[in-house]
Structure 1
Amino acid sequence: MSPQLRGYPDGTDRPATLADVAAASGVATSTASRALSNPGRVNAITRERIEQAARELNYIPNSQARALTSGRTRCIAVLVSDVTNPFYFGIIRGTQQQLKAAGYTQLLVDTEESDELEDGMLHKLRPSFDGAILAASRLTDRRLTALAADVPIVAINRQTRGVANVFIDTPNGVEQAVGHLASLGHRSIVYASGPETSWSNERRWRALVRAAERYEVETLRVGPFAPRQYAGAAAADAVLHAGATACIAFNDLLAIGMLARFRERGVSVPDDVSLVGCDDIFGADFCNPPLTTLTAPIEQAGRTAVAMLLARLDESAAPVSRQAATLPTHLTVRASTGPAPATPTPHISTKGRA
Structure 2
Amino acid sequence: MVTLRDVARAAGVSPATASRALSAPDLVAPARREHVQQVARELGYRPNRAARELITGRTGNLCLVVPDLENPFFAAVAKGVQARARALGFALLVADAEEDPRLESELVGHLGAQVDGVILCSPRMTDVELDRLGRDVLDDDVPLLLVNRLHAGLPSVVIDNADGIRQAVTHLYALGHRRIGYAGGPVGSWSDAQRRRGLEHASHGLRSIDVVDLGHFPPLFGGGVAAGDLVAASGVTAVLAHNDLLALGILSRLRARGVRVPEDVSVVGYDDIPAATLVSPTLTTVTVPLARLGRAAVDLLIEAGSVPTATESALTSAERARHTAPATALGSDRENAGPPSVLIGVELVVRASTGVASAQSSAAGG
> Residue 223 of structure 1 aligns to which amino acid in structure 2?
G
Which residue of 238, 246, 260 corresponds with 1:268?
260
Structure 2 residue 355 is matched with structure 1 residue 338: yes
CA RMSD in angstroms, aligned pairs only: 2.2
Q: In terms of mean alpha carbon deviation, does 272-281 or 207-216 score higher?
A: 207-216
> Residue 221 of structure 1 aligns to which amino acid in structure 2?
D
Aligned equivalents of 2:253 and 2:170: distance in 1?
A: 26
Aligned equivalents of 1:348 and 1:286: distance in 2?
A: 27
Between the two proteins, the alignment pairs up a number of residues equal to 285
> Residue 364 of structure 2 aligns to which amino acid in structure 1?
I
Aligned equivalents of 2:116 and 2:134: distance in 1?
A: 13
8 Å Cα contact 1:133-1:154 kept in structure 2? yes
- Corresponding residue of 1:125: 111
> Residue 139 of structure 1 aligns to which amino acid in structure 2?
M
Deviations 1:32-64 (A, max 9, x none): xxxxxxxxxxxxxxxxxxxxxxxxxxxxxx966
8 Å Cα contact 2:284-2:351 kept in structure 1? yes
- Corresponding residue of 1:302: 294
- Corresponding residue of 2:210: 218
Which residue of 192, 202, 216 corresponds with 1:201?
192
Structure number with greater CO (CA < 8 Å, separation at least 6) is 2
Q: 1:160-175, aligned counterparts within 5 Å? A: 160-175=151-166
Aligned equivalents of 1:83 and 1:145: distance in 2?
A: 25
- 3-state SS, counterpart of residue 276 of structure 2: coil
Aligned equivalents of 1:205 and 1:267: distance in 2?
A: 26
Aligned equivalents of 1:295 and 1:63: distance in 2?
A: 39
Aligned equivalents of 1:181 and 1:201: distance in 2?
A: 20
- 3-state SS, counterpart of residue 304 of structure 2: helix
Deviation at 1:67, TM superposition (A): 4.1
Which residue of 213, 230, 234 corresponds with 1:238?
230
8 Å Cα contact 2:270-2:285 kept in structure 1? yes
Aligned equivalents of 1:224 and 1:180: distance in 2?
A: 23
Structure 2, unpaired ranges of 5+: 1-47, 310-326, 328-333
Deviation at 1:65, TM superposition (A): 8.9
Aligned equivalents of 1:227 and 1:66: distance in 2?
A: 42
Deviation at 1:112, TM superposition (A): 1.1
> Residue 337 of structure 1 aligns to which amino acid in structure 2?
T
Q: In terms of mean alpha carbon deviation, does 260-269 or 211-220 score higher?
A: 211-220
Aligned equivalents of 2:255 and 2:180: distance in 1?
A: 20
Structure 2 residue 91 is matched with structure 1 residue 81: no
Deviation at 1:70, TM superposition (A): 6.0
Which residue of 211, 235, 243 corresponds with 1:251?
243
Q: 1:22-33, aligned counterparts within 5 Å? A: none
- What TM-score do the two structures reach when normalised by structure 1? 0.76
Which residue of 255, 278, 286 corresponds with 1:286?
278
- What TM-score do the two structures reach when normalised by structure 2? 0.73
Change (3 A) 1:186 1:125: same
